[in-house]
Amino acid sequence: MSSINFLSTSSKLLISEAKDLWLSVEIIDADNNVFFIWNSEKKILFKNTDFWVNSALWFKLVNDKSLCYTLLERNWFPIAKSLYLKKENFNNFKESDISWFLFPLVIKPLSEAHWNGVRMNIRDYWELQIKLETSFLDYDTMIIQEQIKWDEIRMLVFDNEIIAAYIRKPPVVTGDGKRTIQELVEYENTTNPLRWEQYENVLTSIEIDDEVLDTLKKQSLNILSIPREWQNIILRRNSNVGTWGTLVNVSSILHPQVKQWVIESLAVFWLHFAWVDIILQDPRSPLLKENWVILEINATPWLWGHKEMLWVNSWNLVLRKLFGI
């Protein structure tokens, strides 16, 4: 059982919850995160957070951002205004190609996840050109989208039920009138017990990368600036936990129509277990076509941090439903 040390954080968490529920566990291949969980009535094979409930076809379709957006639009679900740009067409890209967009913009790779390669708060065409040129060093196709400034809410859905709903907040440090931003980041990394390197804990350690420097510059700041006491400094605009964001539970205030439409969006793909990221003007209000968009659907949801930040034991609830406990 020492091989458990090679499992991903999500697999470890799932296995731990299974054992707490007195379910049996057999690790088949730790390096590939393949294991069984079973009781006297059923035995389920997992590969990380994947199991039989989602079909392979729809899993592939939803993981292709272009196809996902196309199918959502065909079923009258709103998405952000988008333009797909291939590397080989970049030299012919002109400002008129985005004349129907409103700045700021966000760009992201077509074939990435976890906000890798995402650049946000792009304010004009010239900045867009520079960031696309840099992005095409690593990626073949980029999506250009309007950046919508409402709350980003992630909802975990299993078997037509919202298990958890939370706003993802971008990383912030709070000034004390004495320390620089760099010192505040170091203090957060060393004193917050939830932060650790990569995905080894609930929150990842904050790194001062090019995106952070750019975000600070647009606030007329740099890493040596000393914020005033209680001044909140946004370090980057995207809010993924892997890029140091945090979570705020909003399950209790969601309007019933928000829940209903999110569940119906998954029905387009015949998905029974997934998270849906939406950008929403007000989670308490009914949905209109102009006050929300679907940002992303992920059929392999990662479920750490829910207990510590949301007080929701998501894997416990999923396993109970799966095994009828």
Strands (E), the chain: 24-29, 34-38, 43-47, 82-86, 105-109, 119-122, 141-146, 151-158, 161-169, 172-174, 195-196, 203-204, 232-234, 246-249, 273-280, 292-298
Q: How do the pLDDT tens digits run along the chain, 325 residues long?
A: 444 456 888 898 899 999 999 999 999 999 999 999 999 999 999 999 899 999 889 888 998 889 999 999 999 999 989 999 999 999 999 999 999 999 999 999 988 766 678 898 999 999 999 999 999 999 999 999 999 888 889 999 999 999 999 998 888 999 999 999 999 999 999 998 888 766 556 777 899 999 899 999 999 999 999 999 999 999 988 766 666 678 899 999 999 999 999 999 999 999 999 999 999 989 999 888 778 999 999 998 877 778 878 888 999 999 999 999 8
Distance CA 252, CA 264 (A): 20
Q: ∠ CA(113), CA(114), CA(118), 5° rounding?
A: 80
Residue with tokens 């950008």: 279
- pTM > 0.85: no
* Tokens matching residue 92: 């012919």
For position 242, what pLDDT does the model report? 62
Residue 248 CB neighbours (<10 A): 12
CB-CB contact of 283 with 153 (8 Å): yes
For position 1, what pLDDT does the model report? 43
For position 5, what pLDDT does the model report? 54
CB-CB contact of 35 with 231 (8 Å): no
Phi-psi region of 198 (alpha: psi -120 to 50; beta: other; left: phi over 0): left
For position 117, what pLDDT does the model report? 86
Question: Which domains does the chain possess?
Answer: 2-49+305-323 (no CATH), 81-147 (3.30.1490.20), 176-235 (no CATH)
Strand partners, 275: 156, 298
Distance CA 153, CA 178 (A): 34
Helix ranges, 142-293 (H): 181-191, 210-217, 256-267
